[in-house]
Amino acid sequence: MSAQRTAAASLLLCFLLLPVAWGQFRQEPLNPKEIDALRDAAQQPAVRMKLYVDFARARLVALEQMRADPNVKDRAQQTHDKLENFLAVYDELNDNIDTFVERKEDLRKPLKMVIEADTEFQAKLRALQNARDSSPSEAERYQFVLANVIDTVDASVEDHRQLLSEQEGAAKHKKK
């Protein structure tokens, strides 16, 4: 009986630890060089946001290049993975904006750059959504994540514009 309890307890422990172990296998969206660049710009909102925009842009360029390569295997899965990677970087950008807002930083100039990038990202994502270069079964494998990415960018554009408007209004009041 004690052997069965030990086995059951071990099995239960494995099930409880499985999510923790799985989370450790998830790939970090940033490479070590990018992490170092961000660390160097930790207190500089404009530099840090530009880095995140560049990193996100690089993810979309890599996605476009991969999709244009006729020798790519399992294009649907790679498209899915690259979209998730873009989204992870883009979410980090938004988290950083939130952090700098909490610190009462002046984000007017970097937000203008972010909004320009948002427009570019929207165009590229919509082009992917409307692309006819994949079969319906292939597109189905990444449509959910693509829709999620588009929704996130669309919502963020509105948030970024609203924040810029608020910051411009606050700056005008300070000058008076």
Residues 6+ apart with CB under 8 A from 34: 51, 55
* Mean of the per-residue pLDDT values of the chain: 87
> What does pTM read for this prediction?
0.82
pLDDT at 47 over 70: yes
pLDDT at 23 over 70: no
User: For the chain, first and last CA: distance in Å?
Assistant: 80
Residue 70: domain span: 28-175
Between CA 83 and CA 89, with CA 85 as vertex, the angle to 5 degrees is: 115
Indicate whether 90 belongs to any domain.
yes
Between CA 165 and CA 124, with CA 88 as vertex, the angle to 5 degrees is: 70
The residue with tokens 């170092």 is: 36
Indicate whether 13 belongs to any domain.
no
More confident residue, 146 or 28: 146
Helix (H) or strand (E) holding 79: helix 75-102
pLDDT at 133 over 90: no
More confident residue, 133 or 7: 133
Indicate whether 4 belongs to any domain.
no
Indicate whether 73 belongs to any domain.
yes
**How far apart are the C-alpha atoms of 17 and 167, rounded to whole Å?**
45
Indicate whether 93 belongs to any domain.
yes
Number of domains present in the structure of the chain: 1
Farthest CA pair distance, the chain: 80
pLDDT at 81 over 90: yes
